[in-house]
Structure 1
């Protein structure tokens, strides 16, 4: 007799972990809506733009990683961005994910509270380079499945997960990376389950990385990609794994969740709503918590002909934003790494020159060069306002009030900043982002070839290695 089923076609007589991994194992490219395919390609293009920015911005950490991994011996399997060498697949996933999160410009998801692209796409690209002949459709499917695993599990444990100090990019990213790698290796449902389970055991990542600016934060994304790849390989080799990885009293939910635990988030509209469509894309090279204030500043600056007339700026924003990017030590940055985690600096840059530029405002930042911007930072007061956030509704905004010397007070409310799925960036927008981020790394002709390869990804039979394509230039 066939097992009793519930919404999403999942058997009732299996635990949640088994039912979820069965769905992921059974999912096929033909099940994906056209809108999901298109948005996945957009995020892949954004991945490469973000990686180029991270490669340039986080140079000290990148040099250290290149030195450490370059000295290791191993199979020459997978390409690494902007590098002529090949590395073991797990190492390639680590390095590419580190670059992608290096400028904090990579995609994210509001409910997850993390960045899926770094761990998931890095693992998928590395797995694809060792999986033999594939199609672009298979790569797209693997990425969608990795995002689905990472975001749904993250939604089940947030916001308590973040409140306890965990970084979901590292924790749930390990699971998403394992799933993506498994899909490209064509493993059985049982093997995918064991990789998923092993990834829950290996998951890690703390938000304390933000206390070092951006230097250490990419390691959570990188380690998630690496460990997810490793879990997929171990499962394929026959390693046993816990049978109740999410639900056990010793399992993932108990360790990483809190009072806000919502296991139902895993099966809510499963197969009907694909979570990758809910990801945002960043127009600025700073933490997403800084973007609502920056967008408000972009609107208000048109009403301030002389910035010296600003007397005080009050920025009302959700407490989680202040927790992540409102540290007093970063409020008036003194080092480049602090700039990406300063709500005040992002707002001040946009008030001053209508943008936050990778090269000028981050890489070449010094307090001397940014004197006028930092003077604006000193006038910014951050005020916690829980009403500017509704996690379940996807609302994450702010309210800005600027007092001027002439007695006027300018006000602007942002509900959703540009790049959120409700206010999306287009392919043209992301192509422009790639041009800005990859300047000096890729010629315009190389950027055009990458753009054509990504936008035609579902038609590639066989799949053309996108990382190798970049390095060919």
Structure 2
């Protein structure tokens, strides 16, 4: 029973048993989450949800106010995911941080847990979300489900269960409740809607709700994942009987961080294009054609006429055109005009069977830029930010400050000493550091 294995891991997680590398990575994930969420709190989707939820004193909605434990998890999940800059895991094919950390943060702050317990709740949540994502993908994704919303719900529940000190029976019930609420369809993502943001927010909200209900005696199906009519049977397309659940490997150590505010499947292409442009003096007007040979999922992100900013984030040709024209791809660059349309019309995306065969072990993209006199090419197998091509701490801080230039870099000292805070003190310290709430 998979929920039983998850339960054993969640209730058996103790700080002394967790590898130092996993603890250090959890701190980096929290640092990245804070920077992305604080900037995300200024977006339309974040403002919309904060116009709905009511003010309360339980836990912090980053960039806005305090609210109750459920609403803060919901709002922070939306803000964390709306920029497409949150962390992810390529084998689980999901973004765990935007689901897990809001659930851990709201529950730990409301119950005034210490920093060690907060870190442990994050690690437990990442482990459950990622291990389930690895087990069910790519079959789950191929059926049209967004793993961030579905598998992320289990991860958020794990984090909340740990933070609220649920026992084994209660944790088992909470996971059962999580599974019957897990949701998220890729149609929301690829149509360029804000529904994608809601997937992470609802996962975090559902995780907290499931833990709170279970703590009050509300029961859930212990067979919700691998039962006859459970998660795998209903939501996974294909036979995964030969796949083994990888739980207890501390998968948080394998997450990636993002450089560009677009879908991760576009990042290898952007990196390859910048490699060419940085090595060679190529004028935009001299470009006659750009050929992108990549794996199938990336090649399918081929919308040449995105109507929304969310749709631009999912468009390989338009995101690439922006990068080529601007020499950058930041939040402020996500705009289209006639010149971008002209450049994107010169871009051809192709599925390369050899590159597709190496997915998901690699996310390769071979970019060829043709001018009248030359043909330049570059292949990138793994984009910047993967465990094999990591961000340095300085690079993560540069990302943080670029997103939030008005704040002090002293936040690093707070993150480094996370274990020495209780969570109410921590949120006050963070709020004082960069005015996290209005």
Q: TM-score range by the shorter chain?
A: over 0.9
Q: Deviations over 1:238-274 (max 9, x none)?
A: 01111312221111111111215257442x3x43x21
The answer to whether residue 61 in structure 2 is matched with residue 94 in structure 1 is no
Measure the CA separation in 1 of the matches of 2:398 and 2:326: 18
Q: Which moved more, 1:254-263 or 1:34-43?
A: 254-263
Contact in 1 for aligned 2:384/2:391 (Cα 8 Å): yes
The answer to whether residue 418 in structure 2 is matched with residue 457 in structure 1 is yes
Contact in 1 for aligned 2:90/2:360 (Cα 8 Å): no
Inter-CA distance 280–48: structure 2 relative to 1 (3 Å threshold): same
Contact in 1 for aligned 2:94/2:147 (Cα 8 Å): yes
How far did 1:335 drift? 3.8
Q: Deviations over 1:330-370 (max 9, x none)?
A: x24454332211112232233233321212x13xx252xxx
Measure the CA separation in 1 of the matches of 2:427 and 2:202: 19
Alignment of 1:331-410 (within 5 A): 331-359=304-332, 361-362=333-334, 365-367=335-337, 371-389=338-356, 394-406=361-373, 408-410=374-376
How far did 1:390 drift? 5.5
Q: Deviations over 1:124-178 (max 9, x none)?
A: 000011113x221111111011011001111111111111110111111111011
Inter-CA distance 465–252: structure 2 relative to 1 (3 Å threshold): farther
Contact in 2 for aligned 1:312/1:403 (Cα 8 Å): yes
Measure the CA separation in 1 of the matches of 2:242 and 2:62: 37
Q: Deviations over 1:45-98 (max 9, x none)?
A: 111122133233x32x2232122224xxx8531110111x32110100000010
Question: What root-mean-square deviation, in Å, do the aligned CA atoms of Structure 1 and Structure 2 show?
Answer: 2.0
Q: Which moved more, 1:302-311 or 1:123-132?
A: 302-311
How far did 1:191 drift? 1.1
How far did 1:197 drift? 1.4
Which of 425, 436, 449 in structure 1 is aligned with 2:391? Answer: 425
Aligned residues: 432
The answer to whether residue 380 in structure 2 is matched with residue 414 in structure 1 is yes
Partner of residue 4, structure 1: none
How far did 1:418 drift? 0.4
Q: Which moved more, 1:121-130 or 1:237-246?
A: 237-246
How far did 1:215 drift? 2.1
- TM-score, with normalisation over the residues of structure 1? 0.87
Which of 34, 39, 49 in structure 2 is aligned with 1:65? Answer: 49
Partner of residue 471, structure 1: 431
The answer to whether residue 407 in structure 2 is matched with residue 444 in structure 1 is yes
